[in-house]
A and B are shown apart, each in its own frame.
Chain A
C-alpha cells in the first residue's frame, strides 16, 4: 500500500457542486500539503499544514478550503467547483526537517474535472 493515499483518484463533477479530496498518510509525518498541477505550470501550493492546529494558505488558496482531521489526514474541499479548477491535485507530506530541505513524499494524485 502507498504511504500517501488519495481518494478519489478520478472525479468528474459539475459547476457549483461541492467536492472533497481526501489524503491519508502512514509515514508519520507532521507536515502535509496540497498542490495543484496544470499542464505547463508545474505544481502550485494550495494549502499546507505543519500540524493539526496549524494550517496555512499557499500560493493559490482562493476557492479552496482544507481540514486537518488528524496527524495522518488532510482533506481539500472545493465549496463550489468551477471549470478552471479542473486539474490534477497532489497531496504531499514531509518530515519536520525534511520540509525545509525540500524532500516531499507525494500521493498518486486526484484528477478532477469540472464540467
Chain B
C-alpha cells in the first residue's frame, strides 16, 4: 500500500538555523507529493507541492524536491524564524484519486529566539 514516513520529532532549532525534515514515501503509482503545515490551534494548510519527479516546490522560503530515485521529498529552509514553529506533514496523493491523500505522522518544529 501507500505510505509516508517522516523523521520523528520534536525538532528544536534556534532562529536562523538550517532546517531539514526528512520524508520518504512508498506508492504503487506516480504520486503527487505535498507538505502541509499546522500552526498552533489551526487546521492544516498547504505549504508546497510537487507533481512529478525532479519538480521543486517552494513557498515562504521552504522548498522540497521530488526525488523519484530515493523516493524522498525532504523539506528544507535556510534560515528558520520563530513564526515557523508548527507541525509539518508530508503527504502523497495518487493522481485521479482524491480520497487517497495519505499523510505522514507529522513533525513538530519549535524555533527558539
Contacts and interface: CB of A to CB of B under 8 A. Distances in A.
B42 A45 contact: no
B74 to A, nearest CB: 17
A31 B98 contact: yes
A90 B103 CA distance: 13
Contacts, number: 64
A106 B44 contact: yes
Interface in B89-113: 89, 91-93, 95-99, 101, 103-106
B29 interface: no
B44 A50 contact: no
Contact of A102 (B41, B43, B45, B101): B101
Interface stretch (A36-44, A64-72, A76-84): A36-44
Contacts of B46: 102-104
B51 interface: yes
A48 B49 CA distance: 22
For the residues of A in contact with B, the DSSP-based class is: strand
A100 B42 contact: no
The interface size bin for chain A is 20 to 34
B66 interface: no
A59 B51 CA distance: 24
A99 B49 CA distance: 13
A108 B101 contact: no
B98 A50 contact: yes
Contacts of B95: 100-101
Interface of A: 4, 31, 33, 40-45, 48, 50, 56, 58, 90, 92, 94, 99-109
